[in-house]
Amino acid sequence: MKIKFDSSPSSPNENNILKVNYAPSKRPISKWRFRTVLILFLLPFIIFGGYLIYKTAYNLLFINAPGFLIINQITVKASYDGEVEFIKKPGESVSKGEIIARIKNQVIENQYYELSSNLLSVKPSTDQRPSPELLNTAKELYENRLKTYREILSLKDKGAATNAEVSNALSQLNSAEISYLQLKSSSQGSNIAYMPPISDNVRLSELKSILESLVIKAPQSGIVASSLVNEGELINKGSELISIQNDNNIRIEAFLDPDKSRYVVLNKKVRVILPNGQSIEAKIVSFNLQTQRTPADLISPFEKDKLSLVVDLEPIESIPENLRVNYLPVKVIF
């Protein structure tokens, strides 16, 4: 019995005497490309891990707390409805008593000048008596306007009428009252000069006071922090107009963990880190005897709400003018 074995191929390109053509070999991947992709993939994890290590080490070495830079500000409000005719711009310096805004109310001005003119035009009665028809007409007009004024006053109590409508109705009522009383005095043959009713003088004083209040003056010296309305804008009574900042009274509020309250000592000096990286020296002047929640703007979105001890600080060193911003976030190192 004969056993025949296939002979080994003489070449890699030959199989059973048949020629085999192989495709060209693929180019090998460069090691530096693989390493670059790996580094890019791991880079976010490396950065995040380094940040956690830094925060942990920093918190172990330093007792720090977030805080706010608080500057004394006064917000001025409108005393009456109207249109903003003039207002100071942010950044301008003002002195106490200086005009910072002016409001125009055409309805109040018209009522004041009309009532003032009517009071000045009142003359003594003469012997020329008016006809009964004219007196009745004036009486009916007065009664109708009195009825209208009461209706509008009732609607205002229900919130269905404005102050301007009430003022307009009152002005018309006063005019009708003056005309009626003047004709009535003339019909009785009285030669005594007509005296306007007390309500007219009171109303005139009220209108004058309103017009004077439309000129807004600064309650304190300082810098205009913000203008809350624009010129030409219509506003209502009580609307916020302008904020004035006084840089002479600057303080810092820090929010410290209650378990670190042992570091709070009155008159102790601390370091305050400003947003530009500059640090200034401050001292502890007081602290609240009740904890409160840390403002959401001062904690990370990954942290839950927590209670903090509020510590008041007074800067010892001067704060740069460009950083004197109300509620500017800072970091305090105890």
- Final residue of a structural domain among 188, 212, 236: 212
Q: What is the DSSP letter of 23?
A: P
**Tally of domains within the chain:** 2
The pLDDT of residue 109 = 85
How many angstroms separate the CA atoms of 236 and 233, rounded?
10
Expressed as residue numbers, the domain containing 303 is: 63-71+248-333
Name the E strands within the chain: 14-15, 18-19, 64-77, 82-87, 93-94, 99-104, 215-217, 222-227, 234-235, 240-256, 269-273, 279-287, 292-293, 307-315, 328-333
How many angstroms separate the CA atoms of 196 and 194, rounded?
6
Residue 239 lies in a domain: no
> Confidence class of residue 15 from pLDDT cuts 50, 70 and 90?
low
Burial per residue of 307-322, b for 16 or more beta-carbon CB atoms within 10 angstroms, e otherwise: ebbbbbbeeeeebeee
Residue 18 lies in a domain: no
Residue 238 lies in a domain: no
Q: Which residue has the higher pLDDT, 116 or 126?
A: 116
Q: For the residues 189-212, what does the mean pLDDT come to?
A: 69
Question: Which of 3-7, 41-45, 54-58, 168-172 is predicted most confidently?
Answer: 41-45
> What CATH number is given to the structural domain containing 324?
2.40.30.170
The pLDDT of residue 242 = 92
Radius of gyration of the chain (CA): 42
Q: Which residue has the higher pLDDT, 30 or 251?
A: 251
pLDDT digits (tens, 9 = 90+) for 139-180: 888 888 888 888 888 887 777 777 777 777 777 777 778 777
